[in-house]
Amino acid sequence: MCWEWRSALLRLFGARIGRKVQIHPRARIFIPWNLEVGDWSAIGFDAMIYNLGPLKIGSKVTISQRAHLCGGSHDFRDPAMRLTKNPITIADQVWICADAYVGPDVVLGEGAVLAARAVVVKDVEPWTIVGGNPARLLGQRQAPSVN
């Protein structure tokens, strides 16, 4: 596939895309100028990147097929149900598995794994594995040793 072509097109619309990034042609990115992706990251087919607010994706991140990152919501306390545009931050080496959902204002710590179909509406600690709806701690990952 022409990975660099897709990255170049997104850059034309204001996205900040690192080197060796693979964004599948069927991934939907709503607001390119709100997107930042680090080196060696990948966004799979049918992933929905609803980035009304800033979405920062670190390096060596995998966002699997049909994952949904939702940076928008509505203020249900406001009678007008005002649209909110919230950030999402994904640190380096995170894996968001197939069909997982990440809600607004969430920070995913370095090396975190979101299991398939996990629903994450709160921050996830570094090097943890979460799953379920709502997501709960399933285990820990070994952080790489620094030499």
With CA atoms as reference, report the closest residue to 124 among 112, 133, 134: 112
Q: Write out the catalytic residue numbers.
A: 74
pLDDT in tens, 31-58: 999 999 999 999 999 999 999 999 999 9
The pair of three-digit structure tokens given for residue 52, joined into one six-digit string: 């009304």
pLDDT at 1 over 70: no
The pLDDT value recorded for residue 143 is: 87
Its pTM stands at 0.94
The pLDDT value recorded for residue 17 is: 98
CATH homologous superfamily of 3-140 equals: Hexapeptide repeat proteins (2.160.10.10)
- pLDDT band for 3, please (50, 70, 90 cuts): confident
Contact 110, 95 (CB under 8 A): no
pLDDT at 125 over 90: yes
The pLDDT value recorded for residue 146 is: 75
Task: Name 131's bridge partners.
Answer: 136
Contact 75, 54 (CB under 8 A): no
Cβ contacts of 27 within 8 Å, gap of 6 or more: 43, 44, 45, 46, 47, 48, 49
